[in-house]
Structure formats: C-alpha cells, structure tokens
Amino acid sequence: MVSPKSLFFLTTLFFLLAIYVLPQDVQGQAKIVSPNYIIQMPNFNSGAGIPSSSGYKLDTTIGQTAPGLYSSSGYRVRSGFQYIHSIIPFSFSMSNFLINFGVLIPSTPVTLTSTLTVSAGGAGGYKVTTRESSSLQTSGGQSIPDATCDAGTCTESAAGVWSQASTYGFGYNMSGQDIPSDFINSTYFRHFANASLSQTDQIVMINANVGRSRTATITYKVNISGVQGSGRYQNKILFTAIPSF
C-alpha cells in the first residue's frame, strides 16, 4: 500500500515530467501571402514611426531583430525596417509625351525624341518596358506599317539598321544609359511591341543596380511611301517603369 506522502510525491513528479516533455513554441519571421498582398519580414514592434518637427525627421524602429548598418571592405548590409524605404525614392519621368509628326512627305523620314529619366534605389534596380496600342492608324482603318528596317530583320525585340529613305514604317531607336545592347548606334531601330497582335512588352531601359537620374533618349521615326493614304494617323505608346526590391 502506497502511503499518502508517497502518492503526493509520485503525482508531483509526473506533473513536472509532463511539463518537461511538452513541445516548446517556436517563434520566427516568415513571409505572409494572400491573393491580394505579400508582407515580407512580419514583425510586431514595440515602437516605430517617423516623428518630425520643423528641424528634423527621424525614422525609428524598436523591437526589430538585429537592425543596423553592417559593413566591411566588400559589402554593406542595411538591416531593419527603416531601410526598406530607399534613400533614393523610385521615380520615372518623360519629356515630350505628345508626339506630333505633322504633315508627312513620302520618302522623307521624320524623327522626334523624348527623354526618359529613372531614379531607383531598390536592391534589384529597375526596368522600363513599352508597347503600342496598335500600328499608326486612321479612324477608317488605314495604317502605317510597323518598321522592319532596311533588311527586313528588325522586330519588336531585335534592332536593325534603318537608314534608307525607301524603307517605310514606324519605329524607334534608344540611346543613353541602361538601354538594350542591340541599339548599337543611331541607325538601329526596332518597331514597338503591338498590343493588338498580342506581342509582349519589351524592355527599353534596365539596370540591376541602384542609380539616380538614369537617362535615355527614345527617337521615334516614321516614313511613308507615295501610295500611303491621306488622313490623321495615331496610336498610343505605353511605358511601364517597374522597381525591384
């Protein structure tokens, strides 16, 4: 027969053992995803925000795991929520966004330009893509063909030489910073990816690094033959600037 004291001892021992062998909670950060959003590095902070006054602005994070700036001769790591927003805010601008070629004369090429400017501080850099709504068209359905260049080889994704006045169509050249390598010089043109033909948007500027005021010039070119019908031709060109973090 077990005495009351022994029974109490055995019960207490079992209780302590049960606490010991129960699994422990594991805490950690993970990416939270739904069909509508992605939250990276989720964390409940004991304090955060951007207090400011007329003389200062202070970005704070309290409770983040290992925040701070870490560096050596080969790298620099910015850790913490305060570094998610970049010291170089993403921006994209374009000059001369309304292109008017005026009255066209057969076999007389006309060119006009716009300047694209991008600033990007995200870790993955940026890219700018473009496409046209359709070829240049009148309301009656007449169209100026997309340029295929002198040898008939340029496409929406590959540039070719277009220098002859007897080569007709509508296309563009890129020069400046961060442009695709097939734009070798000012004689190399592509035609725009045509949305009405389900062609994929094409990159006209790209850089995997951070940068401020990266600039490129797009040169639009149109040339018509003597049998091109008269009328008002138009289309829309869409540029999409995409940062990567």
CA distances from 21 to 10, 109, 126, 128, 173 (A): 17, 83, 51, 57, 70
Q: How far is CA 198 from each of CA 108, 192, 201, rounded to the nearest angstrom?
A: 30, 12, 9
Report the distance separating Cα 162 and Cα 175, nearest Å: 15
Mean pLDDT, the chain, rounded, equals 85
Alpha helices in the chain (DSSP H): 4-21
CA distance 173 to 53: 48
Number of Cβ within 10 Å of residue 132's Cβ equals 22
The tens digit of pLDDT for each residue in 31-49 reads 778 887 777 666 666 666 6
Go through the domains of the chain in sequence order and give each one's CATH number: 59-85 (no CATH), 91-243 (2.60.40)
> How far apart are the C-alpha atoms of 45 and 55, rounded to whole Å?
26
125 φ, ψ (degrees, to nearest 5): 80, -135
Higher-confidence residue of 60 and 106: namely 106
Which pTM value belongs to this model?
0.70
- Look at 2-11, 166-175, 232-241 and tell me which has the smallest mean pLDDT: 2-11
pLDDT value of residue 235 = 96
pLDDT in tens, 109-142: 999 999 999 999 877 899 999 999 999 999 998 9
Burial class (CB in 10 A: 0-12, 13-18, 19+), 145: middle
Give the span between the Cα atoms of 208 and 70, in whole angstroms: 22
Range in 75-89, 109-123, 224-238 the model is least confident about: 75-89
